[in-house]
């Protein structure tokens, strides 16, 4: 579903559960987001939410490609990348 352009800041627009079956610190997972998008990641253990951190304007940007990189706590660390496509829907703001 698209994200309305009038979405309030800190609104959750996605939820993620990232698991690593290793034990101890090797099983700890961090999730990073591409820095050039108006979204942020909030975490609680291995549960993550994607929230708005800036105002959206469909007339300026109608779609965001959000890259998420998950990394475990192992040595060497293992990573995986996922790209989300987030569409912004227009709200009559005239």
Is the pLDDT assigned to residue 94 strictly greater than 70? no
Whether 24 contacts 54, CB under 8 Å: no
CA proximity to 65, closest of 30, 39, 32, 31: 39
pTM for the full model? 0.87
Q: Where are the domains of the chain?
A: 3-88
Give counts: helices (H), strands (E), the chain.
Answer: 0, 7
Tens digits of residue pLDDT in 10-19 = 999 999 988 8
Query: Which pLDDT score, from 0 to 100, does residue 21 have?
Result: 81
Kindly indicate whether the domain formed by 3-88 is annotated with CATH number 1.10.10.200: no
Tens digits of residue pLDDT in 19-70 = 888 888 888 889 999 999 999 999 987 789 999 999 999 999 999 999 999 9
- What is the rounded distance in angstroms from the CA atom of residue 4 to the CA atom of residue 57? 9
Query: Which pLDDT score, from 0 to 100, does residue 4 have?
Result: 98
């Amino acid at each position: 579903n698209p994200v309305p352009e009038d979405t309030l800041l800190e609104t959750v627009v996605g939820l993620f559960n990232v698991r690593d079956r290793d034990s101890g610190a090797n099983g700890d997972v961090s999730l990073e987001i591409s820095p050039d998008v108006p979204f942020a990641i909030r975490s609680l253990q291995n549960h993550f939410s994607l929230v708005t951190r800036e105002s959206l304007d469909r007339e300026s940007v109608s779609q965001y490609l959000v890259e998420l990189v998950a990394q475990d706590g192992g040595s060497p660390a293992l990573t995986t990348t996922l790209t989300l496509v987030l569409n912004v829907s227009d709200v009559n703001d005239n």
